[in-house]
Amino acid sequence: MEPDLWKIEHYSEFLAARRELLAKSANEFVDSLYAGSVPESELVPTAFERPIVDIPGGFTSEEEEQIIREFNEWIIQQGLPSGEMLYELADQLSGEPLAILDIAWPNGLQEGYSQPVALLIDEEKETEEVISSMGFRFFRSSENFKSYVLREIIVADEMAA
């Protein structure tokens, strides 16, 4: 449960801590069986028993999905990376899903150089607030997003070259 161990550079430390916890748990279980009792543990609900959480966002119509697909094709034609359709935006610490974004570039259109961006069509204010709080720049229309790409991404690339 140490978020610092979730970082890639600490992966070997994560594995060591995981190994220790698994060994401890297995030993406790085997000891309890040897003693003739099975320890009571918290029941973990199955997927069917878990409460259904309404995550804001996502496609609301075939027309919306078509707009997103056409926009993604346009982005690819510009020599930029394909977006992640129906991107699940999750809390960085808990992993809990916060929103489903129509299409997103979580590492930016220029990976590592530009901020995360997303295209949201017909989304609720709640989705916009969540995505904004997570550091994403978002657009409500493909036309506005295209203007941004042409003005701030394509031209910036040409000027840098």
Beta bridge partners of 119: 103, 139
Q: Which residue has the higher pLDDT, 76 or 27?
A: 76
Q: Which helix (H) or strand (E) holds 17?
A: helix 11-34
* Paired residues of 90 in beta bridges: 97
CA distance 149 to 75: 8
Residue 117 has pLDDT above 80, yes or no: yes
The larger pLDDT score, comparing residue 55 to residue 109, is at 109
Shortest CA distance to 67 belongs to which of 124, 132, 130, 123? 123
Rounded CA separation 72/125 (Å): 23
pLDDT, position 157: 52
- Span 117-127, average pLDDT: 88
Most confident of 11-15, 49-53, 86-90, 123-127: 86-90
Condensed to tens digits (0 to 9), the pLDDT of residues 33-53 reads 777 765 565 555 554 454 445
Average pLDDT for 51-74:
81
pTM as predicted: 0.61
Six-digit token string for 53: 């959480």
Q: Name the most confidently modeled range: 43-47, 110-114, 144-148.
A: 144-148
